[in-house]
Amino acid sequence: MVDTALIGRSDGSRAVNRSQALRYLVLAGIFGFFVIFYLIPIGRLLLLSIVGDGNGNLVWRPNGEAFAAVVASPLLIPVILNTLKLAAIVTLAALMLGYPIAYMLATSRSRSSVLLLIMVLLPLWTSILVRTYAWIVILQRKGLVNQFLIDLGIISEPINLIFNQFAVIVGSTHILLPFMILPIFGVLKRMDPRLIRAATGLGANPRKAFWTVTVPLSLPGIAAGVLIVFIMTLGFFVTPAVLGGGKVIMLAMAIELQISQFINWEVAAALATILLVITLAFVLLYQKTFGFERVVR
């Protein structure tokens, strides 16, 4: 007589084995995708900056000429420094605008907060190119801002608001603002409101409770938003290229110029490597200071 319990256990073990095999297959596919489309291109880029022969080929003789050319260039070092400066300004502007919005979203209990959240997310579903060109319409000499200032009598003639660093900062801040708001909103939303009530119960006024309780507890979200916006600004291309009018050169644009106009793959790879190193440095700094688990949990 066949033992039905043994059959049941056998069927169960087969199901578990199939489930584990499927899990390993999915993980292998993800890992393979990551290796093929990320690790191999980045690895070749790093090698090209170190052992390139000047024609985009690997010769396996470390020379460092590409990095020496970047350091010796009177244009590339200022481009790197200007990129860091603009990234810092855009990040600060996004933080100043994004934190009040995130706080309002997290603390509001009315239906208007849902509408505000939709307004924050809606730009993410719109093309960056469309939003960038919209700023040309707004900031040009006959645009909405100049016309508004003239109608108010603040200025007598249009001022130059487009194709300069100001336009790049404004456009980049607008496009990257949701990436500052959402991490801060996520941290504030999970914060226990009883902590604020406890602070006020101990004699703190609302302002002091905000600065001594809310802001310190939201620091991981602030740091995450700062990290995301800063890194994305470092590699921004479309918005600076369009709103800068060719007068504001950032690191991503310099990389594109080295390839498309100068056909210098090694210097382009060296610039890309510098950008990667800067990005990794800020990511590691955030991980060491706060840890990603404090944002995602």
C-beta separation of 83 from 278 below 8 A: no
- pLDDT of 199: 84
- pLDDT of 92: 97
C-beta separation of 156 from 150 below 8 A: yes
Q: Predicted confidence band at 14 (pLDDT cuts at 50, 70, 90)?
A: low
Q: Predicted confidence band at 133 (pLDDT cuts at 50, 70, 90)?
A: very high
Asked whether the predicted pLDDT for residue 180 surpasses 90, the reply is: yes
Q: Predicted confidence band at 287 (pLDDT cuts at 50, 70, 90)?
A: confident
Q: Predicted confidence band at 51 (pLDDT cuts at 50, 70, 90)?
A: confident
- pLDDT of 9: 56
Q: What is the average per-residue pLDDT within 177-187?
A: 93
CA 196 to chain centre: 31
- pLDDT of 225: 94
Q: What is the average per-residue pLDDT within 149-156?
A: 88
Percent of the chain beyond pLDDT 70?
89
C-beta separation of 225 from 183 below 8 A: yes
- pLDDT of 191: 87
Nearest to 99 by CA among 192, 199, 223, 193: 223
- pLDDT of 233: 95
Q: Predicted confidence band at 230 (pLDDT cuts at 50, 70, 90)?
A: very high
Average pLDDT taken over every residue of the chain = 85
Q: Three-state DSSP class for 52?
A: strand
**pLDDT tens-digit readout, 60-73:** 666 678 888 888 88
- pLDDT of 155: 86
C-beta separation of 96 from 131 below 8 A: no
Q: Predicted confidence band at 227 (pLDDT cuts at 50, 70, 90)?
A: very high
**DSSP code per residue over 203-271:** T--HHHHIIIIIHHHTHHHHHHHHHHHHHHHHT--HHHHHHSTTSS--HHHHHHHHHHTS--HHHHHHH
Q: Predicted confidence band at 16 (pLDDT cuts at 50, 70, 90)?
A: low
**pLDDT tens-digit readout, 86-118:** 999 999 999 999 999 999 988 887 777 778 888
